[in-house]
Structure 1
Amino acid sequence: MTGQAQRAASFSRGFPPVYSPGARILILGSLPGARSLEAREYYAQPQNAFWRIMGALYGSGPELAYEARLARLTEHAVALWDVLAAGQRPGSLDSAIVRPTAVTNDFASFFERNPSLRSICFNGATAAELYRRKVLPALDSRFAAIPRRTLPSTSPAHARMRFAEKLAHWSAALTPARDTGADQT
């Protein structure tokens, strides 16, 4: 395979947002990994802790069919998306995202359609950094003011933190955000 063919093959396109009117929390990843792209599902890698955490918090665990998991999240006013709409990434590691190829999603339009959002929670530091560098500078001040919180990545690559600790961080961030809004940290 030529270098150009390899670059084209590793160019990933993300998924549309999952949300319903009245969403209060937006969870943002960076860009779907190889397994998710193949399955056309957010967080399809079985070792990723995302759906186990969502199961503990919202009853939206991996034992449910994918569409049922999404429905449970939206019933709890949780929206799901990625910072990037597309970008070059060989493999699934966030560190492999080729930053100059990163294309962000249209957050201004999304925020216009979802005025009840009270909190943005990032699934890992890469998603937060991409948002801060590539999205935030172009946002209207009312959207830039939405409180944000960076949470431990649910990726199996973030193995230095045990599941119980990740769950505690996610629970501390999502429970208050769901109920009353969240402070920016």
Structure 2
Amino acid sequence: MEFARTGWLEELPTILWAYRTTPRTATQETPFVLTYGAEAVIPAEIGVPSGRVQNFIARDNEEELRLNLDLLEARREEAAIRMAKYKRQIARHYNARVRPLSFKPGDLVLRKNSVSRLQGIGKLDPNWEGPYVVKEADRAGYCKLAHLGGEEVPRTWHNSNLRIFR
């Protein structure tokens, strides 16, 4: 049992090495490549003859490393482009089921209590407050709210912090 609590320290370098040399889905590159400009040779490749180790030529290695460093910035830019494309794909996937809310003047809405902080935000306190009446609404998703008596609420609120009152 004592080994289970202290054994992680010996495993940490192996885990960090694996993390640094595993290609990321978003960039299709390893963090090691994006930092140093060259692929790392994993310890298993040194003991077992592999193509990379067998075809290693020491005098050409220095020139190739310099070339990799010269091309590193371009490789990072390509990785950033791939990451942005990946993020757009993920956002499109998750936003496909989102129904946009649009409010019209006169709609009754509730407002998140955590945003206004007018009431406490303890465990048993309500999550929503209101109802409020929408006085104005714009296309960007912001609404001016009023109390049911007509008194305007001081700040403008975004749709993500509102819910239709039913």
Question: Which band: TM-score by shorter chain?
Answer: under 0.3
- Between structure 1 and structure 2, the one with the greater Rg is 2
TM-score when scaled to structure 1?
Answer: 0.21
TM-score when scaled to structure 2?
Answer: 0.23
Q: RCO greater where, 1 or 2, for CA within 8 Å and sep 6 or more?
A: 1
